[in-house]
Each structure stands twice: as structure tokens, then as C-alpha cells.
Amino acid sequence: MKPEHLATQTKSLSFGDLAKIKLGTNPFNGETLGTAGQLPIASIPAGGAVELAGVLESTALAGATDITLDVGTTGGDPDEFIDALDVDGMSAPVFNTGDGFTGTI
């Protein structure tokens, strides 16, 4: 069965954007986030699925930082796609480390 529609969504966030999210501000529109530290960046339609979730650090962060990312669903499991990614320690892109991808059958 062929999927009727495949969509790719990407978001680019700077260090400044991440700092705003941590403080509870949406860096795209300046609005207050419902939960500080959680930014909805996409929606999965009914019947939809996520096949690949990845994080790429395109520019190394300078100085002392402490950034840990989780990527998942706000209504379900906030780390089901990427779990506890230490951005400071990245040396290569990271994909599918959350429990939605790494569980056993």
C-alpha cells in the first residue's frame, strides 16, 4: 500500500531560540508557551506517523552551555522520538533515540 501523502517538516533553532523556549517564550511569535521548555513545532494528523526524527548541530556552541533536548509529543510522551540528547556532546547528527523507536517487541 502506497502512502497517500508524505510530508517532511524541518525546524531550525538557534541558541537564542533555545534560551527563549527554556524561559517560556515561543521564539517564532513571541507568545508565552503553555509549558516553559516545551515548544510545539509540528502536528501529526490523524492516522499519521513519524518514521524519522533527528537533530543536527550545524554550528558548534561556543563556551559553557548545558542543553539537553527531548523530542516527542506534548500530549503523550515528550521524549518518544529523541531522548535526553546532550547537544553539547554531539559529534554527529542523532536520530531516533527515543523510546518510541528503541523499544523491544
Q: What is the pLDDT of residues 38-88, one digit of tens each?
A: 888 887 888 888 888 888 888 777 766 778 888 888 767 888 888 888 887
DSSP letters along the chain, please? Answer: ---S----------HHHHHHHHHTB-TTT-PBPSSTT------PPTT------EE--SSPPPSS---EEEES-TTS-TTSSEEEEEGGG-SS-EE--SHHHH---
The one-letter amino acid at 101? F
pTM: 0.71
